[in-house]
Structure 1
């Protein structure tokens, strides 16, 4: 058998720290390694596999589209993508247009260019984007400028985009920044993902919208991680009375294949002209077909509602653990199947806990240093929740 670990180290650049398992296949809510050990996947490819792995309906859609064509380029009309764009508009803003790309970072790049084209078109002398401290919007050059995590942006050269950074849920600072400057846009994640699963309060979100409407500032929402049913609604903003001008999406929409984009409302829907932006591989007909299948399962087959019920059960069980082990579990944040368990553990202890879960056949993620990030599939069952909680209780008992 090949020594995949050594080969990985020899031939692949080390941009990620890997968990010590080699995946052979994936079925349902489980990953299976080369030793045939099963792992309950509460990681879901960093929020990508919203319906688990090899979902039968998605696999049928994959085969059907693969038999038609895989790639045709943007010189031809792409019927799966047109259908998906129509559905996304219908389920969100009601009016607008979609630009497709492959990843969340590319969606951010498209947003940056769209905001710029809007300011030039209207000659309103607005400049810059307001973002939140600890936010994450991608690692490509433009997206890196908007990401507010020093460990990510480091000392890479920066683009000349004015950035105004405010603290999460600090309405007073936000108002002050917008009064003292003339920003073109405010871009926020409804729930900060890589920043530690930190939800924006309804009041703060309403403040963002009010400022944008009063000052003709673009209201942009990064729903790359929060979207596609993860928080209980198709997009997280839909739980509030919000009317964004731009929605960034990716991750879950492709059903496991690369797909992302922006949903542009009335202000931005005609910003791009041919040649202003583009990409070779998107919208991939295969990814778009899976996107339509994902919406079928979530909306038409009621999986989003089923997932909400299981998510409620998971939250109630986690809250019981918090009450019992309050000296370790400080707080539980998030919504739906996007959960951050804030611990008082140091980095060494949280890594040990993650490895212990791994030994027990459960995959969890850690973000913001010491926050356990759970991003389960909406196909998770109550039995699987109970198993996870049982193991979690055992591990916390040993630590205590």
Structure 2
């Protein structure tokens, strides 16, 4: 049956993704089950979406309760689930207001328009946005200019907006751009996700924030992948002393349903007026209800605090494998439940390794061709961590042995 679904997928759906050879029938807790009934430990989590795994009681309860109330009413009316979620996000981050959208790309598009509205209200002339090398901020025509990966932005039509690029951790380069080019905003991911799971240092983030303040430039944190507890705090910037002007969120916030948006700090919270921006499903009341359920689980049920201990166990285990197999592993980096293991292997060898791990019932993503990307649910159990480390050790040992025979 799995082959039939794969063939139908190839026939009727445009090939914008390199599929893994799996057709998923159901999901439960931290596992996906294919159409043959085989279980897979899910370390993809829908690319950082399913922070509570699958079928979490809080999410199921909210799904039923809101589903029995209403699914959509239009944003011309007040939806209590959305108001409640916005209030809780503000209280957990910084004073301001929330704009809801459907996805991370939409959140970024909204931020670009908000920067434009803020810029037009300033006396001094500023234009453009600074981004970090190898960053990822979306695939739409607006956000694609902000994404710094040639394989993604290719030669699609360009939106007429200056974009300046600077390497991560290069404070001097950022200072020169702010001084010479007079941009309106700086946008950065606290952990470069698609760019290889590269955490920014606290020092760099705080220096960047200070530079933005001194040049009257908006400081924007893209927390679309790092948010909702993935790094051990609700948002990754909260590991630092930084207070951004805008925070982008999506992925994990909707409990598995599409939801995104931004938190606008006091400097920009009132720059959007009726007619300036909008979206039909912004937000879906059902997605907002699930967002509240996610926050309930993270804070009231202690999932966020317990995930920090599991993340430390996972990271320590991966670091041990790095030391044990230096001929294969080039290092481990990341933050919380967002980790990358860089391999000293050719890309085709990494694909073969992932396929073997998949055969053994574990789903792991690959980014930048040679980095195993671990995005487990925050509900990952100790026994599941130990199983993962055992499988990885056996596979890495086999690879190391093969290299020594060559």
Query: What residue number does 1:258 align with?
Result: 258
Task: Give the aligned length.
Answer: 399
Deviation at 1:123, TM superposition (A): 3.8
Deviations 1:260-308 (A, max 9, x none): 0000000110011111111111200000000000000001111101111
Determine the structure 1 residue equivalent to 2:323.
323
**Per-residue deviation, residues 325-378 of structure 1 (Å, max 9, x unmatched):** 111111111110000111111110000011001000000000011111000000
Q: Does 1:28 align with 2:26?
A: no
Report the secondary structure of 1:187's partner residue. strand
> Shift of residue 121 of structure 1?
1.6
Partner of 1:96: 96
**Residues 1:364 and 2:364 are matched in the alignment:** yes
Superposition TM-score, scaled by structure 1 size: 0.99
CA RMSD of aligned residues (A): 0.8
Could you tell me how far 1:124 is from its partner in structure 2?
2.3
Deviating beyond 4 angstroms after TM superposition, the runs of 4 or more aligned structure 1 residues are none
Aligned counterparts, 1:120-131, within 5 A:
120-131=120-131
1:339 — aligned with what?
339
Distance between the aligned counterparts of 2:344 and 2:156, measured in 1? 32
Distance 2:164 2:28 in 1: 44
2:68 partner SS = helix
Return the alpha-carbon distance in structure 1 between the equivalents of residues 18 and 131 of structure 2.
Answer: 28
Please give the secondary structure, in 2, of the residue aligned with 1:109.
Answer: helix
- How much has 1:115 moved relative to structure 2? 0.1
- Distance between the aligned counterparts of 2:79 and 2:47, measured in 1? 28
- Secondary structure, aligned partner of 2:342: strand
Alignment of 1:1-400 (within 5 A): 1=1, 3-93=4-94, 95-400=95-400
User: Could you tell me how far apart the structure 2 residues matched to 1:328 and 1:105 are?
Assistant: 35
1:319, distance to aligned residue in structure 2 (A): 1.1
Shift of 1:57: 1.3
- Whether the aligned pair in 1 keeps the contact of 2:24 and 2:34 (CA below 8 Å) is yes
Deviations 1:84-108 (A, max 9, x none): 0000000001x10000001000000
Q: Is the 8 A contact 2:6 2:22 kept in 1?
A: no
